[in-house]
Homo-oligomer: A and B are copies of this chain.
Amino acid sequence: MKHNSLVLVFLLMLSSSLCLSQTETSEIKEDFKPSSKNQPGKEYPQVNSQGYARFRVEAPQAQSVNVSLGLGGRGGTDLTKDAEGVWTGTTAGPMDEGFHYYHLTIDGGVFNDPGSMNYYGSTRWESGIEIPAHDQDFYALKNVPHGHVQQILFPSSSTNTSRRAFVYTPPGYNAETSRHYPVLYLQHGWGEDETAWSNQGHANLIMDNLIAEGKVDPFIIVMTYGMTNEVKFGGLRDFKVDAFQTVLIEELIPYVDANYRTISDRDHRAMAGLSMGGMETHSITLNRPEVFSRYALMSGGIYTPEELKEAPKPALIFLSAGSKENPDRVNSAVDALKEAGFNAVSFVSEGTAHEFQTWRRSLYKLAPILFSK
């Protein structure tokens, strides 16, 4: 039903999630530098100023080495072996700005690039590469006061274990001991986990920089694992939100309100998610509208006025997508919501697809208005 149609949307998005930038380029500039996502001291993979990615893998006796990046998921980039047995290759075109997951296929087996750090996506620890974006300043590590990203292990009787979440507390949280803060519950996408928004999304640095510029009143962000029906990693097809909804509403929120200086009411509690996390946000906010007052779906579907008319009115609805996804859908959804009298905002990330640059920019646009009224 609703879920299955959404599932289709997400799977289509995922399948198109590694497309080339449309930039036309005459020749490849030889100004390649190591990717900012490389392991310390590793020279490859590299990226040039046009967004081309170049890979270098040592495997002297290998028969074939392929990189899953570079041709819109339609074959990736085949590396070629030089005289020293080193495999090298460059993407056929510039990549979209921002973060991309990838892996190597070596002699028919899937492995990670030993040069890059690993990032959990597609239900595995993948390699990651960063194409410097023209607007990368907003998530850069700067000499500003930094918040803390805290790993918590909260008791979950419904899943009979202690579950992990990460809690971003803004700069000053530990010093201003009488101040209480609103809370955003922020979900990752399918195949990712609670590490995604910090590691790939730089949510903490986005907040640190916005706060340092005075563009955001500090709030807490809580990120936990959203694929609570962990048994299968088939994932979406069988996805039911109930198990996660119980963990989030009955277990995590009470733990956070008990352990952090939150303003623990509906008006100061928001939920947002990317892709499948948007699907979860959509379902949970409609199931439990008394818990959250501000909803954001990032490449994660839409709300219709009909879905919302029974429930207490949300204070804000934020819908976003990359321009290479289906931006018209979020724009027209927001138009319909506004017409129906809702405070709705849409955002389209120019030149990006179903990838983290879209979601970094979405958080950057969402944060200043999230609790503003």
A binding-site residues for B, Cβ under 8 Å: 39-41, 57-64, 85, 104, 106-112, 114, 117-118, 123-125, 141-143, 146, 148-155, 161-162, 167, 174-175, 177, 198, 204, 208, 230, 233, 258-260
A117 shortest CB reach to chain B, Å: 7
Residue of B114, B150, B233 touching A40 (CB-CB under 8 A): B233
Task: Give complex CA distance A156, B153 in Å.
Answer: 30
Q: For A162, list chain B residues within 8 Å (CB).
A: 141-143, 146
Contact status of A161 and B146, CB under 8 A, knowing A39-B124, A41-B123, A106-B107: no
A182 shortest CB reach to chain B, Å: 17
Task: Give complex CA distance A101, B103 in Å.
Answer: 21
* Residue ID in chain B nearest A104 by CB atoms: B111
Task: Give complex CA distance A58, B109 in Å.
Answer: 5
Contact status of A110 and B114, CB under 8 A, knowing A39-B124, A151-B149: yes
- The answer on a CB contact under 8 Å between B62 and A109 is yes
Counting chain B CB atoms within 10 Å of each CB, the highest count among A59, A123, A175 belongs to A59
A177 shortest CB reach to chain B, Å: 6
Q: For A58, list chain B residues within 8 Å (CB).
A: 108-110
A89 shortest CB reach to chain B, Å: 15
Contact status of A259 and B174, CB under 8 A, knowing A61-B64, A148-B150: yes
Q: For A198, list chain B residues within 8 Å (CB).
A: 151
Task: Give complex CA distance A110, B42 in Å.
Answer: 14
- The answer on a CB contact under 8 Å between A177 and B175 is no
- The answer on a CB contact under 8 Å between A114 and B114 is no
Task: Give complex CA distance A118, B114 in Å.
Answer: 11
Task: Give complex CA distance A350, B248 in Å.
Answer: 43
- The answer on a CB contact under 8 Å between A109 and B149 is no
Contact status of A39 and B125, CB under 8 A, knowing A109-B58, A153-B141, A174-B260: yes
Task: Give complex CA distance A125, B126 in Å.
Answer: 12
A168 shortest CB reach to chain B, Å: 9
Contact status of A109 and B106, CB under 8 A, knowing A125-B39, A174-B259: yes
Q: For A107, list chain B residues within 8 Å (CB).
A: 59-63, 106-107
- The answer on a CB contact under 8 Å between B111 and A106 is yes
- The answer on a CB contact under 8 Å between A118 and B109 is no
Q: For A208, list chain B residues within 8 Å (CB).
A: 153
* Residue ID in chain B nearest A109 by CB atoms: B59
Task: Give complex CA distance A3, B108 in Å.
Answer: 46
12 intermolecular pairs with C-beta atoms under 8 Å apart: A59-B106, A59-B107, A61-B64, A62-B106, A63-B63, A110-B114, A111-B111, A118-B125, A143-B162, A146-B152, A149-B151, A153-B208
Q: For A111, list chain B residues within 8 Å (CB).
A: 59, 104, 106, 111-112, 114
A207 shortest CB reach to chain B, Å: 12
